[in-house]
Amino acid sequence: MSVMSRILKFYLNGNLVHVAAGEADTLLDVLRDGLGLTSPKCGCNHGDCGACTVILNGYSAKSCTILALTAEGKNVWTVDGLANGDKLHPVQRAFHEYGAPQCGYCTPGMVMAAVAFLNHYPSPTESEVKEALSGNLCRCGGYKKYVQAVMAAARGEFGPLPEGSVENV
């Protein structure tokens, strides 16, 4: 954490949080080290791998490339905020049922990229899904199952997608 820091306020998974953030801290730094929320992962810290993907004001965003202080007042969702009690989001269920995660390190980011995408494009083609997930790398090579799982979630195989944006999940 940088020496010059301010108190940053934003909505995390629907709740207002206050956290100290330095000028050079990324949103990923603040989530993981400031708030102890380790579901967004650090894979490259350069915006290349997508392991740190969160949903920022309704769109998927790579939190390692976003300066934390620019999130002031915004809505940030991580995978922690998706499930409703024990009831998983259809995308989470689809990923699990299709056995998409292997080591699982890319999974939280992959979930958030898929959820943000389906919120905007609920009836995608397979090539659109591939494009939507193209910013998320999986070194184990689980791409095929991730794409199949998103298509299954879009078809409603795991229940209806929650209405509207992720803020209403």
Q: Which residues bind another protein (CB under 8 A)?
A: 1-3, 32-33, 36, 38-46, 49, 51, 78-80, 82-83, 88, 92-93, 95-97, 99, 101, 103-108, 111, 137-140
Region of 127 on the Ramachandran plot (φ > 0 left; ψ -120 to 50 alpha; else beta): alpha
- Which residue, 67 or 137, has its beta carbon nearer to another protein? 137
Instruction: Supply the minimum distance, in Å, between the C-beta of residue 77 and another protein.
Output: 11
Q: Least distance in Å: CB of 42 to another protein? A: 7
State the Cα–Cα distance between residues 136 and 118, nearest whole angstrom: 15
Closest CA relative to residue 134, chosen from 59, 48, 56:
48
Q: Which is nearer to another protein, 27 or 73 (CB)?
A: 27
Give the nearer residue to another protein in terms of CB position, either 108 or 124.
108
Q: Report in angstroms the alpha-carbon separations of 88 from 111, 114, 160.
A: 11, 14, 12
Q: Minimum Å distance from CB 153 to another protein?
A: 12
Cβ neighbours of residue 102 closer than 8 Å, sequence gap 6 or more: 138, 140, 141, 142
Q: How far is the CB of 6 from another protein (least distance, A)?
A: 16
Enter the tokens of residue 34. Answer: 């400031």
- Closer residue to another protein, CB minimum distance, 55 or 125: 55
What is the closest distance, in whole angstroms, from the C-beta atom of residue 83 to another protein in the complex? 6
- Pick 10 or 146: Cβ nearer another protein: 146
Q: Could you give the C-alpha distances from 123 to 72, 99, 115, in angstroms and in order? A: 33, 22, 12
The amino acid that residue 1 corresponds to is: M
